[in-house]
Structure 1
């Protein structure tokens, strides 16, 4: 995916998104279908629902973990991910949980969400991201070590079909 001549980041289409969902679902299924999917609000909710349907998982929860301070290309990040209403996860005691987000930039949002899900009692926690932006990555482990399932790796911003360009 390349930046357009006018500097606009590439936009992923629905065909690419559904193909990514199918590919990630196959990988998850090969490892075992989770009991619960957790979508990271806002962007991770649509991918979580797509995966829930592909995996026939009916329990989908959400949690708001924000690391950017605004929408838009290369938005400024807060010092640490901010959590709103962690109780929205409910009781996950003993559950196999798949956390889903649309994009992993620094990796901090998913790392924080893993902590929240474990605090809620999950027995097993995995992560899935449709896009990993390695240009912003700053976790000590490489993306392939820190994240369980990655749809595609890019070096830069992308626009999803549910976002405004």
Structure 2
């Protein structure tokens, strides 16, 4: 297994990253699918590019939702572990979402680190007139969480909580 590059060391050494496998992802998607359906299936699934598209498509298949959309919202400045973050997420090509007015939408990302990207994107989707918006993530990194609310109070559906950086199998390092 390859070890990913890491950001320059700060005061203390960061915890060892957690490497998830495809089996871990499959189990997490199943957990999310079961939780989402208790509130009725959404009409559309929106994945946050890049990593959120993998669970978004997988969830859409499990939920039998054909309307899958994407939005690129990026806060980290690179792909290395503990990469620096911009103060606010950069949004690219928001027109790719199309018309979401009146729809029940499930917003999906792979990870909520600080929680800022997911919250920013959720606000953007609400502003587009969604009738109902739910959020789902495979994992939360509590060590990076920056929101006032506890992750479970800020995100509708969370498959797992961790206290370290998560490395996903699609990142080519697991």
Name the TM tier (shorter chain): over 0.9
Of 33, 40, 53, which aligns to 1:25?
A: 33
Matched, 1:73 2:81: yes
Alignment-derived partner of residue 154 in structure 2: 146
RCO higher in 1 or 2 (8 Å CA, sep ≥ 6)?
2
Alignment-derived partner of residue 41 in structure 1: 49
Q: d(CA) in 2 for partners of 1:116 and 1:149?
A: 19
Of 109, 114, 124, which aligns to 1:106?
A: 114
Q: d(CA) in 2 for partners of 1:10 and 1:92?
A: 35
User: CA offsets, 1:85-141, max 9 Å, x none?
Assistant: 111111101000000000000100001111111122101111000000000001111
Q: Which runs of 5+ in 2 are unaligned?
A: 1-14
Question: Which 4+ runs in 1 deviate beyond 2 A?
Answer: none
Q: What TM-score comes out, normalization by structure 1 length?
A: 0.94
Secondary structure at the aligned position of 2:80 is classed as: coil
Q: Which runs of 5+ in 1 are unaligned?
A: 1-6
Q: What TM-score comes out, normalization by structure 2 length?
A: 0.89
Q: d(CA) in 1 for partners of 2:84 and 2:161?
A: 21
Q: d(CA) in 2 for partners of 1:8 and 1:27?
A: 29
Alignment coverage as a number of residue pairs? 159
